[in-house]
Every structure is written in structure tokens, then in C-alpha cells.
Amino acid sequence: MLIACECSGGAGPTIIATSFLLLGEDVIAYNKGKEVRLKPYGGMLSIDFGKGVGRKDVFLLNLPEVKSAHEILGVPTVSARFGTAPFFWNWGMEAMVNFVPANILRDKSKVQQLVRLFDPLVRAIDGIVGERVSMRVDLECANGRTTLGLFTHKQLSV
């Protein structure tokens, strides 16, 4: 199971803070029932989010849906990825993982300082690019059947 989310615009300070805090956590994923820990914002995939969104790059992030899908639904292989638009925000997220020490990204007060620094820039860019969210779940069943679910909305705040 792959859970992927792509969004642009509409991210307020809480979403920015949560995103930064997640960059300080190892990504927990499951491969054939075994827990694996991966670097945040690595493992890029290019995912097609369909009409109106198109193909977007998404990156590993430690989202709670992964553990729920594994433990509650019994899905043996599951990971979650996240991406944002415009594309240069993804570069910024990668830079934070690579250059900001994880202990700073885990510290809520330091993350709040980063949010105060970046929020005005995020809002200015959001005013230009607009707002949208798209989520895609790919599921491969034990019998080999595959299916996907896709949700897209013009507002992230839905």
C-alpha cells in the first residue's frame, strides 16, 4: 500500500510546524510485515495524481496512517509519501533534512521560530499559486489485484 499526498497553498502555521517536526523523525514503513526505518524526505517517487494535478514528486514522511494500515488493517507492505507545490518547496524540505540537525527539528520551540520565519513567504507564494490537495492510495491485494483511490479538492482546508 502506498499513501501519497500532494498539496499546494492553504498551509497555515500549524501545517508548516507539523511538516517541519516530521522532518526530524525517522520514517517508519513496513516491508513484507517487517518494520523499516528510513530517512525523512528521501525515496522520491513521481506519482500521477490525475486530471488537474498531473504527475508530482512525493517523498517519504512519517505519517500515522502507515502504522494504522499495518496494525489495524493488516497490510504487510505500506509507506507514505508527501509532496508540495510549487516544486521548490520540496527542495527546501530536503535541505532542512540535510542541513538542519534533527534535534532542532524535534524541538517545538525552535520549530515555531522557523515557522515565524517562513510563514510570510509561504503565504505570499500561496497567494500566487493558489490552493489544492490531492491524496492517492495504491493497494495491491494478496490475490494480485490492484486498485487505487484518488481524492482531489481545490482547498487544502477541507
Q: What percent of the chain has pLDDT over 90?
A: 66
Residue 6 has pLDDT above 90, yes or no: no
Residue 158 has pLDDT above 60, yes or no: no
Residue found under cell 505500506 = 78
Residue 88 has pLDDT above 80, yes or no: yes
53 vs 9, more confident: 53
- The full set of domains in the chain, from first to last, is 2-153 (3.30.360.10)
User: pTM for this structure?
Assistant: 0.88
Residue 89 pLDDT grade (very low, low, confident, very high; cuts 50, 70, 90): very high
pLDDT at 11: 72
